[in-house]
A and B are shown apart, each in its own frame.
Chain A
């Protein structure tokens, strides 16, 4: 039973902003303060945060511009139009590989955190597989639903993450 398309065909800029920011922040925010503190050892960590943030934002900007110029096309489609077909295939496979690695990194780190706090004896594979099933369920729905999911979670996640970062920074500055 098909339905009339509503709010589905076009994804608003607000939704896209939320989705991109949640991808960019990711699970890395949890380990970011610790890793920074470990490597810099002083209060100069902000420089690398700024630099990394700038690079990530630039990459995001490039993709955003391309996507908004070729609306409705997939990455492979507009890469083919911009470059030659073999190069486009190569780029797409690199992109795919990147996201595969990205996914495994995210799943692995979430499983590691859960193992650290909750499951001392459970093998990490089982925790990861459980989470992977959830991801598979999400992906089996529509793309718009994933965007909606991001919007739903982004607000609460952002507030929780900023709280977490504040407390982490607090702890870090008190140590220095």
Chain B
């Protein structure tokens, strides 16, 4: 960027702006381009006022130094650290007798463009203007009220760090840096969104990550061109390879330990301002079955739990379909006693199994959705209403059979036992399609939908890596950490499938 940038800038501050965006003015309106700084201080402050629409929270204070030079300090109330400005900047400014500006602050850069100054002011920095100088200094005084680092709401663990990402960009990058004191950890920072100017950082470990993946991530991020980058979900959907697929191909997480573990596997992280959900890519089908806790626990326990998760995913997708198929088409496949028992419990139920299953599964999804929307204090009501009223009363009234309630309960439990919410919800949506095909073709329909699902997964790619890796482009050495989680001493290398530059996690093995 500008040559005036002092050398003490942090390394990750380099702004790699997309070329088409930097040309535009702060307001995103090319026609309203700001003029250059004038040597007169009052002209400059008036221009800043005008550009920001004479805002109420814009603070412009003018001071005369001991040396007799007139200065103006401009910042936005609420975005800047007022203490820092007052105690260090203003006092030093007023006391200074030197003809040039010297402030006891860490971050300071000179700019001759109004746009850059305004963007600096709007991101919490303050601009210092001097009489007779056609430029401004942007001083780093960011400081707004942020949420404390708390336990992640959506990814709680029993054993593992309790820290989760917050909405503050700097806190989040610091959380990653704290876990990885590697000088090769890189943050490529840029601002996206014509109006929102959201900070985004591509995070990776130089020397581990595959350059081709990194280039592809950079290229795709450069294509983002909208006025507002609304959170990581938007970036995820923009970057994803197959946006028509129900399956997530990029993982979003609230856990810094998950991000750092992924970085060390050769993956790339994306940290986005204003959201606690950061992205990890590329992702494969199987990585959605892995939880950070897998590595904090004994390998045997982890392996058993992982097998259970695969079973749970299967149940969550196919169990209601099996119920439909067996009841509507293939009574003969059930053991006769079980068939009698089900038939007995279904006596008096006026609907075919398909209608029953669809109604109950839809109710379950409704309950889930309502549980999110309800305010916390009355959140428990949904459990009572859902569990007792609908379950118990519907069975008593003979609208659904008790077996159906069991099926719905098992599918719900299975889908919530998966570590990734985004993946679980896509499986739940797929479930309805599988139920439909079971209603049309019975077990044959289930087999066909299973094959279709496999075809779909085989076709998916995540940043050039097939979604079914390491199973279908086979990387046998990666199977150590697929369904089985080998003891930590045996996982000596990084995943082969990531084609990392540095393959070894341990020496001499």
Contact = CB atoms under 8 A, between A and B. Distances in A.
Interface in A101-154: 114, 118-119, 127, 130-131, 134, 137-138, 141-142, 144-146, 148-149, 151-153
A145 B444 contact: no
B241 A3 contact: yes
B466 A7 contact: yes
A5 to B, nearest CB: 7
3 smallest beta-carbon distances between A and B, as pairs = A148-B472, A141-B459, A6-B464
A152 B454 contact: yes
Contacts of A6: 212, 464-466, 499
A118 B463 contact: no
B178 to A, nearest CB: 32
A163 B166 CA distance: 53
B458 A148 contact: yes
A151 B474 CA distance: 8
Interface stretch (B146-154, B179-187, B213-221, B367-375): B213-221
A12 interface: yes
B334 to A, nearest CB: 14
Given A14-B474, A118-B442, A152-B458, A3 B448 contact: no
A142 B454 CA distance: 14
A149 B216 CA distance: 26
A8 B466 contact: yes
Given A138-B455, A152-B454, A4 B471 contact: no
A2 B331 CA distance: 49
A148 B215 contact: no
A33 to B, nearest CB: 22
B422 to A, nearest CB: 20
Nearest to A131: B448
Interface in B423-441: 441
Interface of B: 212-213, 215-216, 220, 223, 241, 329-330, 441-445, 448, 451-452, 454-455, 458-459, 461, 463-466, 468-469, 471-474, 499
Max chain B C-beta neighbours (<10 A), residue from A5, A7, A127: A7
Interface of A: 1, 3-8, 12, 14-15, 114, 118-119, 127, 130-131, 134, 137-138, 141-142, 144-146, 148-149, 151-153
Nearest to B242: A1
Contacts of A153: 454
A110 B499 CA distance: 40
Contact of B461 (A3, A114, A152): A3
Contacts of B473: 7, 12, 15, 148, 151
Contact of A134 (B212, B442, B452): B452
A130 B441 contact: yes
B458 A149 contact: yes
B466 A114 contact: no
A14 B472 CA distance: 10
Contacts of A151: 471-474
Contact of A130 (B220, B448, B471, B472): B448
Max chain A C-beta neighbours (<10 A), residue from B212, B216, B461: B461
Contacts of A8: 464, 466
A118 B330 CA distance: 7
30 contacts: A1-B223, A1-B241, A3-B216, A3-B241, A4-B213, A4-B215, A4-B464, A6-B499, A7-B465, A7-B466, A8-B466, A15-B473, A114-B444, A118-B329, A127-B441, A127-B444, A130-B441, A130-B445, A131-B448, A134-B448, A134-B455, A141-B455, A141-B458, A145-B466, A148-B458, A149-B454, A149-B458, A151-B474, A152-B454, A152-B471
A12 B473 CA distance: 8
Contact of B472 (A118, A127, A152): A152
A119 B468 contact: no
Nearest to B220: A1
A119 B444 contact: yes
A132 to B, nearest CB: 11
Contacts of A127: 441, 444
Nearest to B455: A138
Contacts of B474: 12, 14-15, 151
A4 to B, nearest CB: 4
Nearest to A113: B444
Contact of B455 (A4, A7, A114, A149): A149
B452 A148 contact: no
Given A3-B461, A4-B213, A118-B443, A152 B468 contact: yes
A153 B457 CA distance: 12
Contact of A137 (B442, B445, B452): B452
Nearest to B211: A4
B282 to A, nearest CB: 9
B147 to A, nearest CB: 35
Given A3-B241, A118-B444, A148-B472, A137 B455 contact: yes
A134 B454 CA distance: 11
Nearest to B329: A118
A11 to B, nearest CB: 9
Contacts of A15: 473-474
A1 B452 CA distance: 24
Contacts of B466: 6-8, 144-145, 148
Contacts of B499: 6
B438 to A, nearest CB: 12
Given A6-B464, A151-B474, 12 more contacts: A3-B463, A5-B464, A6-B466, A7-B465, A114-B444, A119-B442, A130-B444, A131-B448, A138-B451, A144-B466, A151-B473, A152-B458
